[in-house]
Amino acid sequence: MNKNEAHQKIKTVELFAGVGGFRLGLEGWNGSSPLSGYRELIKSDFEVVWSNQWEPSTKVQHASKIYEENFGKEGHSNADIKTISTAEIPDHDLLVGGFPCQDYSIANHASQFTGIKGKKGSLWWEIHRILREKSEADAPVKYILLENVDRILATPIDRKGHDFATILASLSDLGYAVEWRVVNAADYGMPQKRRRLFMIGYHRTSPIFAKIKSGFKCNKWLIEDGVLANAFPATTRG
C-alpha cells in the first residue's frame, strides 16, 4: 500500500448496541485499550460506521442516550430495528451484536423460556434479514460476531437445542461457516462467574471460509489458531 493511502479499517455495524460494549472492545476508548485499563494506546483495525439501540419497553431511551453521549449521534440510530430497511444501513465488513437474551435467560422461570419465538428472542431474525438482504444486494457481510447467554443452547424447554440449531442452520443457508464457544469470564481473570456464548461467522466470500472449504485442519483452528482460540486460550485433555 502506498504510504499516502488511508489505512483500510474493518467497517463495522453494531446492533443491539446497549451503551457500546462491542465498540469499546473494537475501537477502545479515546484511543486507549480496554485490556490495559485504558492506560495504553490501541491500534484499532475497526471502525463502527453505524449502530442501533432501541428499547421498546421504556419511554426514555437511557442506553441510547449514553451511547450518543460517549460516541456521538453521527451514524447512530435509536429506532426499532424492525422499521429500518437494510438499504439504510451502510455496507460493512463485520456485524456485531448481543441480540436480546431475555427469552433465553436463566433469570426467567422455565415456563418463560420462549426462545427464538419470544418477543425479543425473535429479533434474531432481524440480524438474519440484514445479512440476507446485504448478500442479495451483492454487498455480503463477510464476518459476524454475536453474543448471548449460554442458556440459548437449551431452548425451547420442550425441544432443547432447537433454537440454536435453527440459528446455525439459517446462517449456513446464508453461506456462513460458524464457530462458537461458551466462555466463563471467571476463567479469564474476571471477578465473577458469567457464562456467555460467542459466535463468529465467516461468509463464503471471506479468506477463512476458503480455508475451511479447502479442508485445512479445523481442530487446530478451533483450539490453537482461530479467533476465539487466541482470545480465549483453552486446553484439551488427551
Which tens digit of pLDDT belongs to each residue from 177-223? Answer: 999 999 988 887 778 888 889 999 999 999 989 888 777 777 788 88
Number of domains in the chain: 1
pLDDT of residue 1: 34
pLDDT of residue 103: 45
Number of Cβ atoms within 10 Å of the Cβ of 7: 8
Q: For residue 52, is pLDDT > 80?
A: yes
Q: Does 82 map to a domain?
A: yes
Q: Does 118 map to a domain?
A: yes
Q: Does 2 map to a domain?
A: no
pLDDT of residue 50: 98
CATH code assigned at 176 = 3.40.50.150
Query: 80 is in which domain, residue-wise?
Result: 10-231
pLDDT of residue 237: 56
pLDDT of residue 64: 96
Q: What is the mean pLDDT of residues 151-167?
A: 82
Please report where in the chains the cell 415456563 appears, as a residue: 111
Q: What does the DSSP assignment read for 39-74? A: -SB----EEEEEEE---TT-SS-HHHHHHHHHH-ST
Q: Does 5 map to a domain?
A: no
Q: Does 159 map to a domain?
A: yes
Which tens digit of pLDDT belongs to each residue from 89-143? Answer: 999 999 999 875 444 444 444 555 444 554 444 788 899 999 999 999 999 999 9
Q: For residue 3, is pLDDT > 60?
A: no
Q: What is the mean pLDDT of residues 37-56?
A: 93
The residues carrying an active-site annotation are 101
Q: Does 236 map to a domain?
A: no
Q: Does 4 map to a domain?
A: no
pLDDT of residue 4: 38
Q: Does 74 map to a domain?
A: yes
